[in-house]
Amino acid sequence: MSVQAITAQEKRALKSEPMQLFLLVAFLLASLYAVLQGSAYRQAQVDVADSFTAAQEDRNTAWRDRLVAVENGTTAPEEDRWAGLAMDVSFPATISPGPLSDLAHGVSDVKPATSRVSLWRSVDRLFGNYQVQSPIDTAAGAFDLAFVIIFIMPLLMIALSYDVLSEDRELGRLGLLLSQPISVRQLVTARLKVRFGAVAAIVLIASLVGLFAGSAGQDIGTRLPFMGLWLLVAAAYFLLWTATIVWAISLNLKGETTALLLAGLWIVNGLVGPASLSAAAESLYPTPSRLAFLSEAREASAAAYKSQADIMQGMLLDHPDLTAENYSIPEYIRTAFLVTKTVDDSVVPVLSKFDDVQAERRRFLSKLQFAAPSVLTLQAFNLAAGTNLERHIAFEKSVRDFKQTIMESVEGKVLVGERLSLAEYDALPRYNTQNPSVSSVLGSVALPILFLLALSVFLGTIARSNLDKLQNHLRET
Amino acid sequence: MSLADENTNGRMAMLQTINLRKTFGDVVALEGLNISVKPGETLCLLGANGAGKTTTINLFLGFLEPTSGEALVNGRNVAMAQIETKRDIAYIPEQVALYPSLSGLENLKYFAALAGHDTYSDADLYAFVDRAGLTKDQADRSVAGYSKGMRQKIGVATALAKQAKAFLLDEPLSGLDPCAANEFALLAEELRASGAAILMATHDIFRATELASRIGIMKAGKLVEELDPKAVHSKEIEAIYLNHMRDDQTDPAKGEAA
Amino acid sequence: MIKAIIWKELLQYRRDGRILAVLFITLALGFAAAFNGWSMVESQQRERQAAVVSDRTTWDNQGKKNPHSAAHFSRYAFQPTSSLSVFDPGLTGFMGSAIWLEAHYRDPATLRSVEDAVEIQRFARLTPAWILQVFAPLLAILLVFAGIAAERERGTLRQVMSSGVPPQHLFVGKAIAALCIIALLAPSVVAAVALAANTHDEVGLPSVGLRLTCIVLAYMLYIGAFTFAAIGISARVAKSKTALVVLVGFWATSVIFVPRFATDVGSALSPAPAAADFEASLSAESSTPFWGGSEEAQQRRANVEAEVLERYGVDKIEDLPINYDGYLLQASEEFANGVFDRLYNELWGAYETQSDIVRLFSVVSPTLALGNISSALAGSDLYAHRHFADSAELFRRDFVKLLNEEMIQNGGQDGYGYMSDNDFWQQNPDFSYTPPSIGAVLSNIWVDILVLLGWAITAFLIASRGVRFSFKQEAMA
* C-alpha to C-alpha distance for C430 and C402, rounded to whole angstroms: 12
Between chains, do A136 and C358 touch, taking CB under 8 Å as contact? yes
Contact A312, A137 (CB under 8 A): no
Question: Searching chain B, which residue's CA lies closest to the CA of residue C153?
Answer: B97
Between chains, do C7 and B113 touch, taking CB under 8 Å as contact? yes
Best of B27, B86, B114 to mutate (most C CBs within 10 Å, chain C): B114
**Alpha carbon B179 to chain centroid, angstroms:** 20
The single-letter code of the amino acid at B193 is: A
Residue B144 forms contact with C (CB below 8 Å): no
Residue C14 forms contact with B (CB below 8 Å): no
Of residues C154, C165, C476, nearest to B114 (C-beta): C165
Question: Searching chain C, which residue's CA lies closest to the CA of residue B83?
Answer: C164
Provide the β-strand partners of residue B168.
Answer: B91, B199
Q: Which residues in A lie closer than 8 A to residue C361 (C-beta atoms)?
A: none
Best of C11, C163, C170 to mutate (most B CBs within 10 Å, chain B): C163
Average pLDDT score over residue span A35-46? 94
Q: What is the 3 state secondary structure string of chain A?
A: CCHHHHHHHHHHHHHHCHHHHHHHHHHHHHHHHHHHHHHHHHHHHHHHHHHHHHHHHHHHHHHHHHHHHHHCCCCCCCCCCCCCEHHHCEEEEECCCCCCCCCCCCCCCCCCCEEEEECCCCHHHCCCCCCCCCHHHHHHCCCCHHHHHHHHHHHHHHHHHCCCCHHHHHCCCHHHHHCCCCCHHHHHHHHHHHHHHHHHHHHHHHHHHHHHHCCCCCCHHHHHHHHHHHHHHHHHHHHHHHHHHHHHHHCCCCHHHHHHHHHHHHHHHHHHHHHHHHHHHHHHCCCCCHHHHHHHHHHHHHHHHHCHHHHHHHHHHHCCCCCHHHCCCCHHHHHHHHHHHHHHHHHHHHHHHHHHHHHHHHHHHHHHHHHCHHHHHHHHHHHHHCCCHHHHHHHHHHHHHHHHHHHHHHHHHHHHCCECCHHHHHHCCCCCCCCCCHHHHHHHHHHHHHHHHHHHHHHHHHHHHHHHHHHHHHHHC
* C-alpha to C-alpha distance for C69 and C65, rounded to whole angstroms: 7
Which residues are CB-neighbours of A49 under 8 A, at least 6 positions away? A94, A95, A96, A97, A113, A114, A217
* Length of chain C counted residue by residue: 477
* C-alpha to C-alpha distance for C227 and C270, rounded to whole angstroms: 35
Contact A107, A358 (CB under 8 A): no
Residue B99 forms contact with C (CB below 8 Å): yes
Place A334 in a pLDDT band, splitting at 50, 70 and 90: confident
* C-alpha to C-alpha distance for C171 and C232, rounded to whole angstroms: 9
* C-alpha to C-alpha distance for A403 and A388, rounded to whole angstroms: 23
Which residues are CB-neighbours of C152 under 8 A, at least 6 positions away? C238, C470, C473, C474
Q: Which residues in C lie closer than 8 A to residue B100 (C-beta atoms)?
A: 154
**Lowest-confidence range among A135-144, A297-306, C428-437, C452-461?**
A297-306
What are the residue ranges in chain C where pLDDT is below 50?
none
* C-alpha to C-alpha distance for C169 and C198, rounded to whole angstroms: 43
Reported as a single tens digit per residue, the pLDDT across A103-126 is 999 999 999 999 999 999 888 889
Side-chain-side CA neighbours of C37 within 13 Å: the count stands at: 36
Q: Which helix (H) or strand (E) holds B17?
A: strand B15-24
Contact B133, B147 (CB under 8 A): no
Cα angle B175, B190, B148 (rounded to 5 degrees) comes to: 20
Q: Which residues in B lie closer than 8 A to residue C170 (C-beta atoms)?
A: none
Question: Which pLDDT score, from 0 to 100, does residue B139 have?
Answer: 94
Reported as a single tens digit per residue, the pLDDT across A361-375 is 989 998 999 999 999
**Nearest alpha carbon to residue C15 among A254, B147, B121, B99:** B99
Cα B9 to Cα B1, B34, B50, B71: the distances in Å are 12, 17, 33, 20
Distance from CA of B80 to the nearest CA of C (A): 13
- Subunits in contact with chain C (3 or more CB pairs closer than 8 Å): A, B
Contact B89, B74 (CB under 8 A): no
Whether the predicted pLDDT of A453 surpasses 60: yes
Question: Which pLDDT score, from 0 to 100, does residue A157 have?
Answer: 96
Of residues C39, C249, C272, nearest to A133 (C-beta): C272
**Lowest-confidence range among A15-29, A310-324, B243-257?**
B243-257
Average pLDDT of every residue of chain A:
89
Contact A327, A334 (CB under 8 A): yes
Could you tell me the pTM of the whole model? 0.92
Q: Which residues in A lie closer than 8 A to residue C38 (C-beta atoms)?
A: none
Question: Searching chain C, which residue's CA lies closest to the CA of residue B115?
Answer: C163
Contact call for B and C: 3+ CB–CB distances under 8 Å: yes
Provide the β-strand partners of residue B73.
Answer: B15, B76
Residue C18 forms contact with B (CB below 8 Å): no
Read off the DSSP letter of residue C100: E
Q: What is the 3 state secondary structure string of A194-232?
A: HHHHHHHHHHHHHHHHHHHHCCCCCCHHHHHHHHHHHHH
Q: For helices A184-213 and A153-161, what crossing angle results, to 10°?
A: 150
Q: Which residues in A lie closer than 8 A to residue C146 (C-beta atoms)?
A: 256
**Highest mean pLDDT of the ranges A5-14, A172-181, B116-125:** B116-125
* C-alpha to C-alpha distance for C10 and C46, rounded to whole angstroms: 45
Question: Which pLDDT score, from 0 to 100, does residue C123 have?
Answer: 81
- Across the A:C interface, residue pairs with CB atoms under 8 Å apart total 243
* C-alpha to C-alpha distance for A395 and A113, rounded to whole angstroms: 8
Q: b/e per residue, B16-47, with b = 16+ CB within 10 A?
A: bbbebbbeeeeebbbbebebbbbbbbbbbbbb
Question: Which pLDDT score, from 0 to 100, does residue B253 have?
Answer: 45
Contact call for A and B: 3+ CB–CB distances under 8 Å: no
Between chains, do C382 and A135 touch, taking CB under 8 Å as contact? yes
Between chains, do C161 and B61 touch, taking CB under 8 Å as contact? yes
Reported as a single tens digit per residue, the pLDDT across A87-106 is 999 999 999 999 999 999 99
Contact A83, A75 (CB under 8 A): yes
Torsion of CA B136, B140, B144, B150, to 10 degrees: 20
Between chains, do C32 and A286 touch, taking CB under 8 Å as contact? no
* C-alpha to C-alpha distance for A465 and A365, rounded to whole angstroms: 33
Of residues C18, C54, C76, nearest to A299 (C-beta): C54
Distance from CA of C25 to the nearest CA of B (A): 23
Distance from CA of C121 to the nearest CA of A (A): 5
Question: Which pLDDT score, from 0 to 100, does residue C156 have?
Answer: 93
Average pLDDT score over residue span A222-236? 95
Residue B13 forms contact with C (CB below 8 Å): no
Reported as a single tens digit per residue, the pLDDT across A393-433 is 999 999 999 999 999 999 888 888 888 999 999 999 999 98
Q: What is the 3 state secondary structure string of B167-200?
A: EEEECCCCCCCHHHHHHHHHHHHHHHHCCCEEEE
Residue C162 forms contact with B (CB below 8 Å): yes
Question: Which pLDDT score, from 0 to 100, does residue B3 have?
Answer: 40
Between chains, do A152 and C257 touch, taking CB under 8 Å as contact? yes
Q: Which residues in C lie closer than 8 A to residue A275 (C-beta atoms)?
A: 29, 123-126, 130
Q: Which residues in C lie closer than 8 A to residue A141 (C-beta atoms)?
A: 122-123, 260
Question: Which pLDDT score, from 0 to 100, does residue A477 have?
Answer: 56
**Lowest-confidence range among A152-161, A289-298, C249-258?**
A289-298
Distance from CA of B110 to the nearest CA of C (A): 6
Q: Which residues in B lie closer than 8 A to residue C11 (C-beta atoms)?
A: 101-102, 106
Please list the alpha-helical segments (H only) found in chain B. 3-9, 53-60, 82-87, 104-114, 122-132, 136-140, 148-162, 178-193, 205-211, 234-250
Q: Which residues in C lie closer than 8 A to residue A137 (C-beta atoms)?
A: 263-264, 266-267, 272, 354
Question: Searching chain B, which residue's CA lies closest to the CA of residue C472?
Answer: B63
Contact C270, C350 (CB under 8 A): yes
Q: Which residues in C lie closer than 8 A to residue B99 (C-beta atoms)?
A: 8, 12, 154, 156
ipTM above 0.85, yes or no: yes
Tens-digit pLDDT string for chain B (258 aa): 444 344 334 568 899 999 999 998 888 889 999 999 999 999 999 988 888 888 999 999 988 889 999 999 998 999 888 888 888 899 998 889 999 999 999 999 999 999 888 899 999 999 999 998 899 999 999 999 999 889 999 999 998 998 888 999 998 888 888 888 888 889 899 899 989 999 999 888 888 888 899 999 998 888 888 888 888 887 888 888 888 877 655 444 443 333
* C-alpha to C-alpha distance for A208 and C291, rounded to whole angstroms: 52
Place A1 in a pLDDT band, splitting at 50, 70 and 90: low
Residue B95 forms contact with C (CB below 8 Å): yes
Residue B82 forms contact with C (CB below 8 Å): yes
Question: Which pLDDT score, from 0 to 100, does residue B254 have?
Answer: 43
* C-alpha to C-alpha distance for B124 and B137, rounded to whole angstroms: 15
Distance from CA of C161 to the nearest CA of A (A): 25
Q: Is B202 helix (H, G, I), strand (E, B) or coil?
A: strand
Average pLDDT score over residue span A130-154? 92
